[in-house]
A and B are shown apart, each in its own frame.
Chain A
Amino acid sequence: MQLLMFYILGFGAVLSALLLVTSKKPVNAAMSLIATMFCLAGLYVLLDAHLVAVLQILVYAGAVMVLFLFVIMLLNIQEKEGRLAGSTIALQFVSILGVGMVFVIAASLVKVRGALPTGGELFPFGTTKAVGSMLFTEYLLPFEIASMLLLAAIVGAVILAKRRISDAKP
């Protein structure tokens, strides 16, 4: 059952990722990306990482992608002029598959399978408790640095936006 779910979700993630890079309409591409996020969230649930799964949907599908859509709608980005030639699409597919294969081969070379705990001995790395205690003990410094980085980005965005308003006024 779990294996079946894994294959369904994995197939869905790969398929929607392919649709993302091949669709010509920006909105359709954004929707495909949302579908990819959902499939990844499903994979996290299979790993018992419920918190990570919900945060994946909440942050990426729910917030980041809404902003993407917002920009697409505001700028009214239209379908790209002219059709992509069949050979271009084929080339895209081949290159994506090629890159994917390189990753798979590299992963099997470093024997990821042996390093990961299998089946029943999975430690609960994605539950609320595990993530919380890890975030505030072992990874406290990176966590704080990341928050400072985000704060700097917010301040920078505000300054850029403000300057344009004051420029336009006189």
Chain B
Amino acid sequence: MLTWSLGFLILMVKLGAVLLFLLLAAAYLVWLERKFLARLQVRYGPNRAGKYGLLQPIADMIKMLTKEDTIPEGADRVIFLLAPAVVTVTALLMFAVIPFGGDLSFLGKRIPMVIADLNIGLLFVFALSSLGVYGIALGGWASNSKYSLLGGIRGAAQMISYELSLGLSLVPVVMLAGSFSLVDIVRAQEAYPFILVQPLAFVIFVISAMAESKRIPFDLPEAENELGAGYHTEYSGIRFGLFFLGEYVNMQVLGALVAVLFLGGWSGPFLSGPAWFCIKILVVALVMIWIRGTLPRLRYDQLMALGWKVLIPLALVNIVVTGAVILI
């Protein structure tokens, strides 16, 4: 009974810590993005609230929480209210299987630095990311607005297409590691990170992951100049905030996945595991912001052609080549 309640307590502490860290990091990722993007465009970015605009995320949060929560007339109420939560919850749940560091020993007990080390961890992440589509598609549909519907349909089509290349690009990684568990995948990279042996898979994964999280070269579902704001045009207040939060948590998930699958996870010299992990996530996020500040948006046919005619065939070839090399 004592060990059971101790395990429960540890689980709750881990959940609380991860949730707090993720939400705080998401808020400051917004700040970082605005600041870095402004620098790339020779602007100052937010600099009014606090030093260097550091209090800007808090001001934004208060604004979103206090704004009126409007529901458009003719909207499907239940689905309209539910959709933003789907986006945020699926993004947050992915962190359940991502390991932040090696094992920790506390009071003679071994505590793994992961909430749940599932033996199908990678598939769990895929399942959740495929469910995230519902938030976008249903949110766009339920708003009863043409712009939202177009955004929702674009989002659904884009995410279904890029999910395939996302999954296929990781098959070689699973083949090399011999496991779906993210902890085992990190352990398999102790000698060298997988980016060195799987550069093609890395490139395909990063491109598809950016398309999956609807970041700028792939942000057709919310293309401002064509669709208003796409699927979240009709949302206001905290429900818009949930969509926004989901997007930035998704960015962290992608950073974490790139770190775990290709950059050796928490391993690194001198610093502790979680510190290295945070640094790797931050580097991936900065590169994604950099890409956002550099590349223009794709046309819709270019987007589909890139996904179906370039990335998926390349990923399939990569699987065959990796399989051949492993067999030899």
Listed in ascending order, the chain A residues whose CB lies under 8 Å from chain B are 25, 27, 31, 34, 50-51, 54-55, 57-58, 61-63, 66-67, 69-70, 73-74, 127-128
Contacts and interface: CB of A to CB of B under 8 A. Distances in A.
A13 to B, nearest CB: 18
Closest 10 pairs (CB-CB, A-B): A62-B130, A57-B127, A58-B127, A54-B123, A50-B120, A73-B141, A54-B120, A66-B133, A54-B127, A70-B156
Contact of B137 (A54, A55, A63, A70): A70
A50 B137 CA distance: 28
B124 interface: yes
Given A57-B127, A58-B127, A73-B141, A128 B156 contact: no
B49 to A, nearest CB: 40
Interface in B152-166: 152-153, 156-157, 160, 163
A98 B128 CA distance: 36
A55 B138 contact: no
Contact of B138 (A25, A63, A67, A69): A69
Contacts of B157: 70
Contacts of B79: 27, 31
Given A27-B76, A50-B118, A63-B130, A70 B153 contact: yes
B149 A51 contact: no
Contact of A66 (B76, B127, B156): B156
Identify which of A34, A54, A73 gathers the most chain B CB atoms within 10 Å of its CB. A54
Which of A57, A66, A74 has the largest count of B CB atoms less than 10 A from its CB? A66
B253 to A, nearest CB: 16
Given A58-B123, A70-B153, A73-B152, A128 B133 contact: no
Contacts of B153: 70, 73-74
Contact of B131 (A51, A57, A69, A73): A57
A96 B58 CA distance: 54
B130 A51 contact: no
Contacts of A25: 76
B119 A62 contact: no
A46 to B, nearest CB: 15
Interface string B114-157: 00001110011011001101100110010000000100110011
B324 to A, nearest CB: 17
20 contacts: A27-B79, A31-B79, A34-B134, A50-B120, A54-B123, A54-B124, A54-B127, A57-B127, A58-B130, A61-B131, A62-B127, A63-B130, A63-B160, A66-B133, A69-B156, A70-B157, A70-B160, A73-B152, A74-B153, A128-B120
Contacts of A51: 120, 123
B180 interface: yes
Contacts of A67: 160
Contacts of B152: 73
Given A66-B160, A67-B160, A128 B127 contact: no
A14 B150 CA distance: 34
A55 B123 CA distance: 8
